Every structure is written in structure tokens, then in C-alpha cells.
Structure 1
């Protein structure tokens, strides 16, 4: 069985996002305590519709392709755990407000609750948020994207299937041919 240290993976995520890292991710990466993924969230963060919409949108940010997507990687649970246990109430506001705004826009534009929109409709709604064409959209999109990417690439699926996991690096080869590189390595 492969043992993955999510905190080590989080440290790599911190360097990827740099100074604009969403506060709960930075807090969790900086702590050397119980891993984020242990156990359920201390309290529910989302109502049922928000949770269903967050789950659907996370799959649109990191969809299933030739590798598993966000849902299979457990990203929705990671997001709720991180927001419940590592985020302040102010940190949660843009995520909750963004989900409510996207849900309202889905109802207005497509006459369905947000979680029941099609993948193409979810893509259109996320694009509106990304382009800041929804109230608070750009702030929501950047923070939500960071949560999804962090959850995915610190999960066992993200580390072992999307990337090549090397628990103990092999020999150093400074002249390794780039044409033989298949995946990005993580350890």
C-alpha cells in the first residue's frame, strides 16, 4: 500500500499558487498536525443544494478524462472538511455566496436548480464567474479553483494516477531524455 503524506503534497501546492493562496489552504499547509482528510468535517458547511452544486462544479474544474475526476478523488469531501475545520467564517463567505449566485443564475437562465444543470450549463456558469460577470464571481472562481486543484492533487488519485508517484526517488540522471518523460513526478 502506498502511504501519501497530504501535508507534503500541500507544500507543493503552496509553491504553485504562490502569494495568492486561499487562506484555509495556506493555514492547513503550514500546520504539522492531524491531516486534513482524517474524519468528517467538524460541522456541515453547505446545505444540501450547495453541496450538490459544489460537487457538480468541482467535477467541471477537474473532470474525469483518462484519469479519474474530482468526485472520484474525494474533492467535495476535502473542500467541506477544509472549509469546516481550517477556514474562518469570512473565508467561507465567497464560496457560499458564489454557489448561491451560480444557483440563482442557473434558475434564471436555465429554469433548473444549479445542481441539476447540464455539464455544458455548469461550464457556462463557471465561465461567467471566472470572467467576473457574476457578483463576486472572480473571487469565488479563483478560491474555488484552488480548493479543487489542491484537493485533487493532494489525493491518492491525483498523486498516483494523474502524476507518477515515487515514494523513494531513484538515481539522479541529469541527462534523462525529455522524450521519455511520461508524467510529472510527485513524492
Structure 2
């Protein structure tokens, strides 16, 4: 089964591929656009879902949102490449009844089918049919559960990390949402913080979030 048969094409994947190349530190030409394994191809609905969820995490404000820069497709490609350990077999202590049905034969997790099932179940049906306020509420509940102190490991933490990585390695995320200054620039040992000051893109690691 090829990407073309599922509606995927090179032009649609270009934004996600460019972001993935930046995150991996390789030329964009080295990222496969349509040659994904059949098991890694999302359904059209899963692709819409991750684009929508990404935009709920980082909506458009005075700067572009996650949907605007192609973060949803970045997440699809990042998962296919196993970025941030998403392609590794799950540790035995993280396997629960809720995630077990979504494991591959090699023990790794199919993150997008899991997310689709998790959000649809929370929505009592079709998550995408709800209005923006309700989708935001449902995702916020999942986020709060995943990041609660003492909570068991959740696949959402990896997905959210990829959404943030995709956005903040984009031009908009790295130079508009964050404050960009060309390195080496100049050394300033003490910079007073002002209200509304943006974080520096050179100081962002996608490690601390939640």
C-alpha cells in the first residue's frame, strides 16, 4: 500500500518534512515523503485529528498556529521515523489495558490510533464534531491527566513533545513566537526581563513543558 493510494502526495508533506529535517539535523531531501510503511500511514481522519490537536496546543494568535506551519504532518513523519523514542518497544510497566490494543508486533505503540480512540471515547463519539470550546476542554483534561504528579506514563506526553518540537523548529516558531537573535551576537551576562518578553529560540529545548 503506497502513500499515493491513501491521498498522500509530495506537496502536502513538504512542510512536515522540512520541520522533521530540522529536528533530525539532516537535509530535507533525506526525509522520505511518500515512502512510509503501510503501518505508519494514518487515515485521513487521523491526519485531520493530529492537525486539529496540534492547533489546540498552539493556536494562531499574533503569530501563526501549529496548523499554519504543518505541525500535524510533522508529527506523522516524526512518529514514522521513531523520533523521541516513539518507535521503541514500550517498557513493560507502561503497558496498560488502555494502550495494549494499540501496540505493534515489535512492542512499539501506534500513537495516532491511540489518540483517536482516547479522544473519541472522552467525547462520547466523534471528537472532531464538537465545537472549539469543547475540543479544547477535552484535550485539556487529557493533558492534565497525563502531567498530573504521580500519573502513570501516558502516550500523550510524547505526542505533545513532538507537537512542540515541530512548531518551535519552524521559522514561525523559532523567530516569531520565540525571540531570535543571530549567534554569536554579543555577550550580555544579565538581561532584565520585561512584561511580554518572548523566550529566546536559542534557549528552547522542548524538554520542559506541561
What range describes the TM-score normalised by the shorter chain of this pair? 0.5 to 0.7
Deviations 1:39-82 (A, max 9, x none): 52532531111111111111111111121111012110110111
Q: 2:137 aligns with which of 110, 124, 127?
A: 124
Partner of 1:42: 35
8 Å CA contact 1:67–1:161 kept in 2: the answer is: yes
Residues 73-82 or 35-44, more deviating:
35-44
**Is residue 168 of structure 2 the alignment partner of residue 153 of structure 1?**
yes
Alpha-carbon distance in 1 for matches of 2:174, 2:30: 15
8 Å CA contact 2:21–2:30 kept in 1: the answer is: no
Gaps of 5+ in 1: 11-27
TM-score, with structure 2 as normaliser: 0.61
Partner of 1:171: 186
Q: 1:105 aligns with which of 115, 122, 135?
A: 122
Alpha-carbon distance in 1 for matches of 2:157, 2:122: 19
Partner of 1:53: 49
Partner of 2:5: none
Determine helix, strand or coil for the equivalent of 1:115.
Answer: helix
Alpha-carbon distance in 2 for matches of 1:126, 1:180: 29
Q: Using CA pairs below 8 Å that are at least 6 residues apart, which structure has the higher relative contact order?
A: 1
Question: Which structure shows the higher helix fraction?
Answer: 1
**Is residue 70 of structure 2 the alignment partner of residue 74 of structure 1?**
yes
8 Å CA contact 2:19–2:169 kept in 1: the answer is: yes
Gaps of 5+ in 2: 1-17, 88-103, 147-151, 203-210
